[in-house]
Amino acid sequence: MTSALFRFGTYNLLNLERPTTTTLKQRYDLIIRNIRRAYQGRTGILGVQELLGDTKADARRLIRMIAHDTDMRCEAIPTRRNKAIPAIASQAVGASAQRFHVGLLWTPDIEPIPDTLRAYEGGSDFWHGLVSTTFHAGGPVPTRWCSYHADPFRPERRLWEAHRVLSVFQDTDIPGGVAADWNGLSADRRPSGEYYDPEPYLEQNHRKLRYQVTFDPEDPDAPKLANRGAGEFLRRDPGGLRDTAAVLDVPWQWSCGHWVDSKGRPDDFGRRRIDTLRVTADIAATTRTHVTHYGPDAEAASDHLMVTADFALHELEVMAA
């Protein structure tokens, strides 16, 4: 192994497609540079969201390209098959001709376990999708790692999907975690008992709020409080998944909200934190760092920032004993 610690990260790539123009190539190169910088000399896995392609074959070509350019790997053997394929899951076909995909990348010094790659596709399970693979990844026991992208429009669907996310770790003793754009605020709390993420919507007044807040039908003037139903379900014990930022109680840092679109419009929601890592209790106990990677390159590459956490997975054997 190249590092005593194992790194797990999440990165929403903002509609990333195979670069066919100079502008697309420049942004693609920024993303590659950001990934290489974060994982150079490290052992780890990165969950990515918003791989864009008209078909699953397009997405497979794209994630292979990213893996090649970052010196990472992306292929594992799924259940009931004997040939490795890229670790992606795809959004169901909708009104749009394009589809969104999520994926996993990992450093060459760890191995995916055959027959463990599983894609939970959009449609029946999710609006976007979730991909999961189990690895021998820097520790004495197998660990399971996932990439997921939550529904951006429906708080009630995010809660419904949270049940399915958590089911990946039910009926199993395999530890692990989920890298995701959760499209909603965490409900994890600081040691003081207050929410780790403060309320960002109290003074806002725009139409997109309906996708993020809980309205009081009896009081139209009630404070615009974030809907945290999915986060509350995910964090609850026994069997919940911990937000690594809250586990370490690190200083709060936004993960999105800096982007100005092609028409010069800023993000309606402003700066907030909807990209983070959720891990099982045993993994949480080995957490050493939680970092949001910001700076000019990061902010120019995507409307979301990469978030990583480092874990001492070798401690899992001691805990299991």
- Provide the CATH number for the domain around residue 72: 3.60.10.10
Q: Give the global pTM.
A: 0.95
pLDDT at position 232 is 98
Q: Is residue 145 part of a domain?
A: yes
Which residues form the domain of 87?
A: 6-184+236-264+273-320
- Average pLDDT for residues 62-91, to the nearest whole number? 94
Q: Could you report the per-residue pLDDT of 29-58, keeping only the tens digit for each?
A: 999 999 999 999 999 999 999 999 988 999
- Average pLDDT for residues 4-10, to the nearest whole number? 96
140, 111 Cβ separation under 8 angstroms: no
Q: Is residue 215 part of a domain?
A: no
Confidence of residue 94 (pLDDT cuts 50, 70, 90): low
Confidence of residue 59 (pLDDT cuts 50, 70, 90): very high
Q: Is residue 207 part of a domain?
A: no
- Average pLDDT for residues 130-146, to the nearest whole number? 93
CB atoms within 10 A of CB 92: 15
Number of domains present in the structure of the chain: 1
Q: Is residue 203 part of a domain?
A: no
Q: Is residue 1 part of a domain?
A: no
Task: Please name which of 132, 215, 149, 217 lies closest in space to residue 184, comparing C-alpha atoms.
Answer: 149
Q: Residue 67: CB partners within 8 Å, gap ≥ 6?
A: 73, 74, 75, 105
60, 52 Cβ separation under 8 angstroms: no
**d(Cα 142, Cα 135) in Å, to the nearest integer?**
6
Q: Is residue 112 part of a domain?
A: yes
Q: Is residue 138 part of a domain?
A: yes
Q: Is residue 152 part of a domain?
A: yes
51, 96 Cβ separation under 8 angstroms: no
